[in-house]
Structure formats: structure tokens, C-alpha cells
Structure 1
Amino acid sequence: MTAVLGGCGVTGDTDDVTLRLVAADYGDSKATSSRKYWDKLTEAYEAEHPGVTVDVEVYSWNEVDAKVKEMVAAGEAPDLAQIGAYADYAAKDLLYPADDLLSIPVQADLVPQLAEAGQVDGVQYGLPFASSTRLLFYNKTLFQQAGLSAPRTWKELASAAAALKARGVKYPYALPLGPEEAQAETMQWLLSGGGGYTDPQLGTYSIDSPENVGTFTWLRDNLVGKGLTGPVPPGELNRADAFTAFTQGDVGMLNGHPSLMQTAEKKGVEFGMVPMPGLDGPTKFSMGVADWMMAFKQNDHAEQIGTFLNFVYDEKNVLDFSRRYDLLPVTTSASHVMSGAKEDADLKPFLEQLPSSELYPVGRTSWATVSADVKKSIGATVTSGGSPATVLARLQTTANRLDAAE
């Protein structure tokens, strides 16, 4: 965490403005901290915009959302926050809409489905800042030893997992449904089974749909029930632990995002990546994830915030951040550069998934609570004797109640 700054607002000369930005840290050490990115970017911005200073506070993902919530509750909202969710603040009319901040070319350059995910009631408040998609990672060495090829269907995945188990692989398929990020693994499987958290036609939650119940019934009976998901019960296995086990060569297959590539390569794990298998072939829709930038109205700095954000979303700055952290760019122009650049070849499979990706229903103020509920209880669907229909119905009831209260 960087030093907490003393305040924000007008400083020095009456025309001078200090913007306060609270940002999440994408690094895993002091050497890779996002602080370095923001220091470089704000120095360049301030050189071009005398009279405007940008003070940045960087917090870990474990605390940044809570920090912003505390600031807002205390009446000390930052000018900008780069965090995980925006809908609650938009619903309380605390944020500037994108139309008030971004130039038309910059706004038009945002990847369409990411920009759309930033809308509440048709107005964009959340600006996508970083994105990623998911692919199925598999350990090439373990697959070659077992004479396997990458799976394309659920049946092939289960068959491969059984073959890996027979050879003593600790986690034939790692299924992290623990409280850290169970909502992600859940969504990936829901999409692969033809379902999802919401009904795209009706725009309502569809957590207990027949497709979703069928997906978790299949997982319970064909993977977990046959001992193909490893020694830790899925409801207790967190994503970070699953990733660590993969980099140690103990996992045959798991869903992963781009940053896993770098970690696995450092550990010398040879891996392949394919779209998530589905019922009859590769999943048509992958899971996309976005983190968000938002601008608070409290300090009345719309003009300065706008010039700063137009700078943030310049192609070179978007590319710099994306390449630092193996993430996908949130602008079409930067995506085009990455898709054709040799240095970004390892990210191309993830980029190819982005146009057909679906994101969490982040525009709903209910999503934060629904997501937390999924993290707590989804693991119970695949336990011995567990009832996917019962668990998903309870989640649906909660989601309906929250939606009705909005």
C-alpha cells in the first residue's frame, strides 16, 4: 500500500487542482506493484497538464473495494476509483456518466461488450480498465504420458481425468469452488452447459435454470463423485491454491486466466490452452472479466477527470498496462495492435475469446451480494448427496429478492 495521502481538492494556486485516485494493485511484489505504472503515467500526464496533480493510492485487491467504500461512507470520496464494481455507486447517483468525461473517439474505442457491461439503465458509468478471458489449461507432459489429447467435450474431459487419475495425478481436474473466486469457476461451467447467471432474453437471473441444474448434476456425478477433482473438496479449494498446484505439476487440467501462463512458465511447466469443453464441443461463449474505473462527482472535478481519463485510455498507455500484467486491453485499437504483435502472441488465444465472452451481471446492484452467496454455497452442489437443484433454487430466491428491492 502506498502512503495514504492527506486530502484532495484545490491546492496552491486557486486554479491548481489535485485529483485523488484509488487503484488496485495488480502486482505480487514491490517490484511489480501497480504503483510503478501509475507513477510513470501520472508524471507524463502532469507534464502535459500544468496545474493538475494526480495523487494515487494503491491497495491490494483484498482491501481496495472496502477502502473506497469507507471513503465514500465518510463523505470523502476519491475523484477516481479503479476497483472491482461500480453499480452500487451509480445507483446512488454518485458517479459521472462516461458521456460527461470521455471524448467521443475514446468512448467509441472501448471494446463494445465491455462498455455495455458498464451500463446501468442504458447509461455507462463503469469504464472498463482491464479485462481477461478464461481458457482450459492442461499439463502437456502429463497428457503426453497418458497418451491424451486436449478435450473438446465434457465426456472427453471426464475420460482424460480418469486416465490421469489412473496414473496417480493428484488433481486430474482442479475444481476451485472455494470462497476465493467460486463465482468465476461457476460461471465458466454454466456457460459451457448452455446456461449462465442471467437469461439474455429476459434480462433476469436464471441461476436455477434446467441447464444450470444439469451442469452441476453432471459435475457431481461425473467428476467429483468419481474422485477426479483431487484430495481437497471443491468447496474448500481456492483458485490460488489450484493455480499453485498446477505450477507444481500436480494438476492435469483447470480453468485459468492469462497471468497463469507466466507463473507456469517460470516453474517450467509445459502447458496447452484450449476453449472450455462443452456438452457437444468447445463452449460457444467464454467467460470474460473486467475491472472498472469510475469517477465520483463529490469534488466537482469533471473537467480535470475527463482530461486525465482520455490520457489513461490512450493506446500506448492501455498497451503498457496490459503487457505489464498479461491482461487484455479494453480498447479496440490496442486489441488490434496486440493481435498482430509477435510479443503478444501468447495472449492471442485469450484475445480471440473476447468477442464471444460474457461478463458477470455487474450492472446490477444485487450482483455483489449474489456473487458472495455463490462463493459461500456453490460447493454444496457437488458434495456426496448434495442437491444442485436445492442449492441453485436458494440462490435464485436470494437473487429475486434483491432484484425486487432495487
Structure 2
Amino acid sequence: MATLPSADWTKRDDLAQLIGALGTDNARYVGGAVRDTLLGKDIHDIDIATPLLPGEVIDRCRAAGIRTVPTGIDHGTVTAILPDGPVEITTLRQDISTDGRRATVAFAKDWREDAARRDFTINALYAHPETLEISDYFEGLEDLEKGRVRFIGDAAERIREDHLRILRYFRFQARFGDALDDEAVTACRELAQTLKGLSRERVAMELLAILALPEPLPTIALMNELGVLEVILPEARARETECLQQLVQAESREGIAGDPVRRLAALLPPIASVAESVAARLRLSRQQRSRLVCAAERKQADGDNPASLAYYEGLESARDRLLLQGHGIAALAGWETPELPLKGGEIVERGVAKGPQVAKTLQAVERRWVEEGFPDRARVMQLLEEELASP
């Protein structure tokens, strides 16, 4: 019987308290924490599966002094708020019906039934909280060892249950796969059009997760080859794929983490209206939309005055545009936005009547101040006198 290697997270006192409240027979570690521990990777989230119903989980935790939040109680998920980090506890489930977008589930008592409804074999590994013995119902351990991402059961059937599994396959393949699974690839190609029926938020979430990968280009190229990319991002073309490659290289050269919104901008033509359309379709946040549109307005001259660009567009957007144009960003290291040492009231004191002329003068001084590299107040006052003396 395979066992989970002893890791720091398995020795947490608060986790032991939670397991004690649920009962060792009523809890199994499952999913990413088990998979990533076996691979020697860092653990960020801990999930527990249990045959207990959500109400009983809440009651047991309350009796043990553990606060819970019903984060997804309709689907059986309760989050335990622990000192060393939250833990999600989900009641065992089985699918009653699916339509490719959502599933109707019923609570179950059988661990294998719960495993059978998961997407990939490597995500269906369960570990006993005390013995750390692993329950592997679908040869997930072998797949993990071989670097193989494989659907549980028939790949096409699993995708028809939830179309988002197409994008999840590409993300997990990039992270854990050494070789492509032919059945999975065929199913993704044949069912690519089903992605059109998904909510744009779900598509955006997975697309940005793929673009956040350390090396997203091979995955994006495969998605393009299989006809998946054109379904979720028809604006992307071969030229933009080359732009993504150059951006990834620039990020590496500058020693900064890859940013998914910046990389999404690289996949789009530099046209503001296109960026607006994509941001709206993917239901991106206001900040993400702003960055995407600003990146689309990039021009080669961005590298002439990086500080000026950062002042007018913001640091993050300035870095986006510089990197997308192949410029360095060293000039913006430690950048903090300076404040113009001049107020409108001071212009009024010089005899300018309140109104549009004050704003016009202030803007003219500010423009020259930025062009000169943000000189001190003494120089700003000289600039003001020069503007006031001009016709």
C-alpha cells in the first residue's frame, strides 16, 4: 500500500484538531495536496473529503471550537478557518445529471463513487489522515509516476459532463504531463466547440491560469493546433503567438514573474477596440480591462521615457507596454509616482482668473515637468512663470 510522504502540513496541530473533530474514519486528504506532496511540490491548499453531511461537519467543528464558513454548502463544501490556513471540507458526492455547464449532485457515502466523478486520475488520490495510506481507485499513482494526465473513464464522456475540462486538461498537462494522452487530445479537438456554451468567467479563469504557467507557449500552441484557442480567443493569430514568445523571453530576461493579463495582451492585436471587446466578453475586472486596453495602445516610442509612461499610465501598465515592445524595465525599479509640487490656487494667486485657464496652465506646467524628469519645486515655479509669460 502506497503512503503519503510525511510533510510539514500533515503535522499541523490545527489540522489534527480538525481531524479529531470529524473523526479519522470520516476524513481523507484529497486532490492537489496529495498529488503535489507525492511530487515534492509546495502545498498551498488542503482539501478534505468526508461522508459527513455539511450540517454535521459544521456541528462537529462548532463543538470543537472551530469556526466554519459555508463557502459552497449547496455542493457540500464547508471551509474550516484554522490558525495556519483555511481547509475546505466537502461531502462525498455523485453526479445525478450534467449538461456540460453544471452538474446536479447527490451526497454519497462511498469513496470510490466520489473519486469516479473527478476529472483526472492524478486528482483522485485520497490519503488517510493518520496512517497516510493512499487510496488510488483509477491508477493515478502510475499516471503520476509516468507523467501522464488521463481522464477518469472515457475522455469524451467526461468532457461532455463539464466542457471546462478541455481547458483544465491543457493546464494540468502543462504542469504534470510528459507525453500527450491520445484519447484526451482527440476528445479535446472533437469537442472544442462545446466551450462556447460555458460562462465567460469560467473560461477567463482557466485561460488566465494557463497563461500564468511558467512556459505557456507550448500549451497555447497545442490549443491553437487543436482548434481550441480559436473558440475561446478568436482574436489570437500566429503573429500574436510570436509576440507571446518574445514577451515570455523578456520577462525571463528581466527576472520578473509572468503575468497572465500581460500575456493575454500579447495574444491580441494592438488595437484598443479589440482589447475592449475581449475584456467585456471574458468579464474581466475593471483593472484588468484597463491594463489590456492600455497595452493595446503601445507604441515603439514607449521606451524613450519610461518614467513619463509610468506617470501617465501607472507602473503596471507601463511595465506591460515596455515589455511588449521589447524594452527593458530597469529604469522603473523602485518607482514611486511623484506629486507635482504646484496647486491650482498658486496659479490663481498669480492673477489667473478661476476657471479653464487655471487647469490649462497647470497641465502645461505638468507636461513640461514630466518631460524634464520631475525636477524640484524651484524649477516648477520657473516653468510656471514661463507659462504665465507666454501669449
Please indicate the TM-score interval, normalised by the length of the shorter structure. under 0.3
User: Which structure is richer in relative contact order (CA contacts within 8 A, separation 6 or more)?
Assistant: 1
Higher strand share: 1
**TM-score, normalising length: structure 1:** 0.22
**TM-score, normalising length: structure 2:** 0.23
Higher helix share: 2
